[in-house]
Amino acid sequence: MNLHISSAFVSSFFLLYNLMPSQYCSAIDAITPTQVLTQEQTLTSSGQIFELGFFNPGNSGKNYAGVWYKNISVPTIVWVANRERPLSALDSSTVLTIGSDGNLMLVDSMQNSVWSTNESSYGRALIILAIPFLPNMKIGMNIKTGERRSLASWQTEDDPSPRNFSLGIAAQMPLQSFIWNGTIPYWRSGQWNGLKFTGVPEMDDVYLNVFNLLQDTQQGTAYFTFNIFNDSYVTNTVISTVGSLKIRDWDEDKKKRSTRWEEPRSLCDLHGACGPYGVCNTYKSPICRCLKGFVPKSSDEWSKGNWTGGCIRSTELLCDKNTSDRRKNDGFWKLGGTKLPDLNEYLRHQHAKECEI
């Protein structure tokens, strides 16, 4: 088995680093069981876009095997192999090779495995990828096998081990993406309506509307992907060490990186900022208020600016009252410009009047 890097390489991380300069390394064109990649060598993709080799982030004294953009003047890592098992910068004996079982492996001078793709475990364990989300990359899950593909932030700018923040797809319908802080929801996209995430109004912009949902109910898979239709155009979606999700572009001519879109942008974008039956408005002070017919669950907490407890109903619904007076009916109050509730359900071919009965 030979390993070549595709020009459409799909994988993980995005931050700026002091890489081992590739011009001081010799290049090879493949990794095989007999042709290893040493720490003085690199492997370049067929499209001359990506390069595989070893690097030392921020002169941290730790070495990692990874992939970066080859022709960007500011070094940008897109994938790290041994992100939780760094090598000492003094250790130059560890090499990248193909094992007898076909897995990509980091092997030390004693032929001990430091890291492996461990392909045999795929589909039976949580799969965490780093950042960024690159064209053709899949983020999602397989509910039948338990496989989950997520983005995970770095611990610090010099430490690629996974931090608490991760981005993935929740196992619920309708599908929506989440940023989690550990296991706690930190931000959500709103539901996927077939064209976009309903809680991301910027997806109406043609430049953001390049995402697609690949769903196979028989296989139990649901993955989101995106395509920019031009491999020379460097754009990716990243998750930072503090949980910010960004779409960034790189202009090589201007040597400039720009952020096209970012979430969360305000306190109102944080998950559950105003609690149950609360509504958040960035332009109001305080930012939280209760829905019509509701009052704060805890006036004391609410007055202190802690709105996460949310609101409770202040007006009993007529249908809940023990009365025979049906001269008045409960109804609906239209509220525009808000995300749909987290655990809402779609009702097909059903009119509001039918729901009032």
Q: How far apart are CA 1 and CA 196, in angstroms?
A: 40
236 and 302 share a domain? no
289 in the same domain as 183: no
pLDDT digits (tens, 9 = 90+) for 285-306: 999 999 989 999 999 999 999 9
> Which tens digit of pLDDT belongs to each residue from 41-85?
999 988 888 899 999 988 888 999 999 988 888 778 888 999 889
How far apart (Å, rounded) are the C-alpha atoms in residues 172 and 127?
Answer: 19
Identify the CA nearest to 83 among candidates 108, 65, 68. Answer: 65
10 Å Cβ neighbour count for 348? Answer: 4
**Phi and psi at residue 318, to the nearest 5°:** -60, -35
CB atoms within 10 A of CB 234: 20
Q: Specify the long-range contacts of residues 29-36, CB closer than 8 Å, at least 24 apart.
A: 29/4, 30/2, 30/3, 30/4, 31/2, 31/3, 31/96, 31/97, 31/98, 31/104, 32/1, 32/2, 32/3, 32/97, 32/98, 33/1, 33/97, 33/98, 33/99, 33/100, 36/95, 36/96, 36/97, 36/107
- pLDDT (tens digit per residue) in 165-191: 999 998 888 889 999 999 999 999 998
Domain end among 72, 94, 121 = 121
State which of 96, 121, 146 marks the end of a domain: 121
Judge if 139 and 216 occupy the same domain.
Answer: yes
**One domain for residues 129 and 261:** yes
Residue 73's pLDDT is 81
For the domain that residue 13 is a member of, what is the CATH number?
A: 2.90.10
Tokens encoding 139: 């983020």
The predicted model gives 195-222 an average pLDDT of 80
Question: What gap in Å lies between CA 228 and CA 208, rounded to an integer?
Answer: 10
So what's the pLDDT on residue 143?
85
Higher-pLDDT residue of 20 and 261 is: 261
Give per-residue pLDDT as tens, 100-150: 888 889 998 888 899 998 765 443 444 445 447 887 788 899 888 888 888
Both 287 and 196 in one domain: the answer is: no
Distance of CA 59 to the CA centre of its chain: 27
Give me the chain's average pLDDT, please.
80
- Same-domain status, 329 and 203: no
The pLDDT > 70 percentage for the chain reads 79
Q: What is the Cα–Cα distance from 41 to 39, expressed in whole angstroms?
A: 6
Residue with the two structure tokens 């910068």: 89
Q: Exposure of 340 by Cβ count < 10 A (0-12 exposed, 13-18 middle, 19+ buried)?
A: middle
Within 10 Å of residue 33's Cβ, how many Cβ atoms? 13
0.85 exceeded by pTM: no
Nearest residue to 11 (alpha-carbon basis) of 81, 63, 74, 65: 81
146 & 230 share domain: yes
Using H for helix, E for strand and C for coil, what is the string for 258-319? Answer: EEEEEECCCHHHCCCCCCCCEEECCCCCCCEEECCCEEECCHHHHHCCCCCCCEEECCCCHH
Number of domains comprising the chain: 3
Same domain membership, residue 172 and residue 221: yes
Distance CA 184, CA 203 (A): 25
Q: How far is CA 112 from CA 2, 48, 97, 194, 233, in A?
A: 21, 32, 12, 48, 40
Instruction: Give residue 174's domain range.
Output: 122-265
Report pLDDT for 34: 84
**pLDDT at residue 18 in the model:** 37
Do residue 149 and residue 195 come from a single domain?
A: yes
Whether residue 347 has pLDDT greater than 70: no
pLDDT grade for 354, boundaries at 50, 70 and 90: low
3 and 64 together in one domain: yes
Q: How many CB atoms lie within 10 A of CB 65?
A: 24
If asked whether residues 2 and 100 sit together in one domain, one would say yes
- Asked whether residue 8 carries a pLDDT value surpassing 60, the answer given is no
Q: How far apart are CA 56 and CA 21, in angstroms?
A: 10
And the tokens for 106?
A: 């980091």
Residues 134 and 237 placed together within one structural domain of the fold:
yes
Query: Which of 216, 246, 265 is the last residue in one of the domains?
Result: 265
Q: Is the pLDDT of residue 263 over 80?
A: yes
